[in-house]
Amino acid sequence: MASAEPSPRQGERFLSDRWRRHIPQWLDKRDIPESGMIMVTALIVGVGAGLGAVFFRWLIGAVHSISYEHVAAYLSYPYYLVIIPAIGGLIIGPLIYKYPLEAKGHGVPEVMEAVALRAGRMRHRVVVLKALASSICIGTGGSVGQEGPIAQIGSGFGSTVGQMLKLSDERVRNLVACGAAGGIAATFNAPIGGALFALEVILGRLHTVYFAAVVISAVTASVISQAFSGDTTVFTVPEYVLVSPWELLLYTLLGLLAALGAYLFARTLYLFEDGWERFPIPGYLKPMIGGAVLGVVGILSFKIDDFPAVFGVGYETIDLALVSGLTFQIAFALLFVKILATNLTLGSGGSGGVFAPSLFMGAMLGEAFGQVVNYFFPGITAPPGTYALVGMAALFGGAAHAPATAILILF
């Protein structure tokens, strides 16, 4: 006779369905005002986004440590620079092939698609799968950023909260924006920048009540992040001054060049993605091949302490540019090598964001431009690092179509 006891999976589903049914009923009995409900849920999502960002950054560090301290010890230099990214691609390949909506992509476009087409409703597993795929990709050397995945992780948590409470489509969208704002705020320690990013990019509009909710979520996530990581900024930025009003013309020219750089990056990324899509090999093997090719690029490119500057998020190299620590030749070359490395990673199916690569490219463009104008106009120009900072905001703003967010985050 068959047992009448439910299986563990059926038991989990029963408990999940029970919570989804009883939590909305319990809240309805309390007759909580809508504005109060919006603020409470925003606070919850902010806590979740902040903790998610902290855990995700820790996971990247753990994967990087295992890869380049323990695994690399058994391999010869520089061959492990090819082998480790290939192994990372081999691990995430089946994951991305089976769950492309959750694990593949840049992060932010997937959130925007969910808001525009599915009323902000995202599958619950996106949080775990995105964190796993992106941390392995970045930790093993993938030339992508952590900001997009963190925004998607926070948005996925916000969507899950909204669906559990059976909220309306509009309020679910708002919680998705709260999660994205919290993720960006926790990453850059910039709560207002994170809030503006969610309104400018994710929602595309400004609403008074929802603005307050997004700000609450962003501030909460930033506080959570600071509690674990300290009150430190992402980049080490010296004090800059405007040496001469004539520099404004040079900054305008730099902005035009950054627009071309953003267009080049976006255009080539689409071409690489289309090319890899037509490549006649199984989809789950493409990230491995992309990782191996990326390793070759890393071996041939500029390195810091024997580690390729174009691997990972590249914050250390950006810091060098901000203190005018790169030559024109290195900065100019890294601009194009980073475009190639990021296109290889994402085009082949890697998982990660384009925020950090955009900032990296902008910093290299600004540093190279600053070196040139300092050579020709030494008396009226600030150090090249100043132009690197401006280039970061300009290229990132052009690539993300979010100029106000770029200004606030960098400022």
Distance in angstroms (rounded) separating the CA atoms of residues 233 and 20:
39
Phi (first) and psi of residue 42, to 5 degrees = -65, -40
Q: Which two tokens stand for residue 242?
A: 């405007």
- The per-residue pLDDT for range 2-59, each reduced to its tens digit, is 444 444 444 444 435 554 555 555 445 455 566 778 889 999 999 999 999 999 999 9
Confidence label for 328 from pLDDT (cuts 50, 70 and 90): very high
Answering whether pTM is above 0.85, one says yes
More confident residue, 59 or 238: 59
Distance in angstroms (rounded) separating the CA atoms of residues 285 and 8:
34
Asked if residues 93 and 283 have their Cβ atoms less than 8 Å apart, the reply is yes
Confidence label for 405 from pLDDT (cuts 50, 70 and 90): confident
> Per the omega criterion (within 30 degrees of 0), is the bond before 308 cis?
no
pLDDT at position 32, please?
57
Whether pLDDT at 314 is above 50:
yes
Helix axes 34-65, 208-229, angle to 10 degrees: 30
CA trace torsion 261, 264, 270, 274 (10° rounding): -140
What amino acid occupies position 92? I
More confident residue, 155 or 11: 155
CATH of domain 15-229: 1.10.3080.10
Confidence label for 73 from pLDDT (cuts 50, 70 and 90): very high
Distance in angstroms (rounded) separating the CA atoms of residues 119 and 104:
21
- Whether 15-229 shares its CATH topology with 247-410 is answered yes
Task: Provide Rg for the chain, Cα atoms.
Answer: 22
CB atoms near residue 288 (< 10 Å): 21
- The per-residue pLDDT for range 383-394, each reduced to its tens digit, is 999 999 999 999
Distance in angstroms (rounded) separating the CA atoms of residues 299 and 310:
10
What amino acid occupies position 294? L
Rounded average pLDDT over 149-158 = 92
Helix (H, G, I), strand (E, B) or coil at 357: helix
pLDDT at position 22, please?
53
Q: What percent of the chain has pLDDT over 70?
A: 90
Distance in angstroms (rounded) separating the CA atoms of residues 390 and 357:
15
> How confident is the prediction for the chain on average, in pLDDT?
88
Asked if residues 353 and 151 have their Cβ atoms less than 8 Å apart, the reply is yes
Confidence label for 214 from pLDDT (cuts 50, 70 and 90): very high
Rounded average pLDDT over 228-235 = 80
- The per-residue pLDDT for range 337-346, each reduced to its tens digit, is 999 999 999 9
| 307 DSSP β-pair partners | 304
- Give how far the C-alpha of residue 168 lies from the chain's centroid of Cα atoms, to the nearest Å: 28
pLDDT at position 17, please?
54
pLDDT at position 393, please?
93
Spans of all domains in the chain: 15-229, 247-410
Judged on CB neighbours under 10 Å (0-12, 13-18, 19+), 233 is exposed
Fold of 247-410: Clc chloride channel (1.10.3080)
Helix (H, G, I), strand (E, B) or coil at 324: coil
Residue 235's nearest CA partner among 327, 355, 337 is: 355
Distance in angstroms (rounded) separating the CA atoms of residues 61 and 357:
18
Contacts of 178 (CB under 8 A, 6+ apart): 41, 42, 45, 46, 49, 154, 158, 198, 213, 214, 216, 217, 218
Distance in angstroms (rounded) separating the CA atoms of residues 370 and 320:
14
H or E, element range at 304: strand 303-304
